[in-house]
Amino acid sequence: MNPGILIIVDSDPRTSGRPAEAIRIAAGVGIWKKVDVTLYLRGPAILGLGEWVDDLKDEDNFSRYLPLVTESGWPVLVQKDAPELSDLGESPIRFEPIDDGELARRAAAARHVMRF
């Protein structure tokens, strides 16, 4: 079993390039297949899962790298009951809503945690 990294993204992709960079890093690190990557989006970062990302900073990272994360079988987790889920519309990306307790369990199990 590979060591795990949990990448937590809670910054707003409409005003910050940090979420797009986090997704690029998740895809890049995971491609090595030496680390199990889990991507967690919280609050406004969830908007990066939308079908239309044209209004987001560095939008090409969302459309280019986010599919690589899911195609490799790594989970994309989101904050359960986040208000942004209702604004998301149809998402081309498969994701799983989790509560804060599950996030805490996954963070405790990960060897590394990065926050953007």
Q: What is the pLDDT of residues 57-75, one digit of tens each?
A: 999 999 999 999 988 888 8
Place of tokens 């195609």: 71
Correct CATH for 4-115 of 3.40.1260.10, 3.90.1150.10, 3.30.43.10, 3.10.560.10: 3.40.1260.10
Instruction: Convert 56-70 to b/e letters by CB count within 10 Å (16 or more is b).
Output: bbbbebbbebbebbb
Q: Which of 65, 87, 83 lies closest to 74, judged by CA? A: 65
Q: What is the pLDDT of residues 38-60, one digit of tens each?
A: 999 999 999 999 988 889 999 99
Tell me the domain boundaries of the chain: 4-115
Please report the pLDDT score of residue 105 as a whole number.
97
Q: Is 20 helix (H, G, I), strand (E, B) or coil?
A: helix
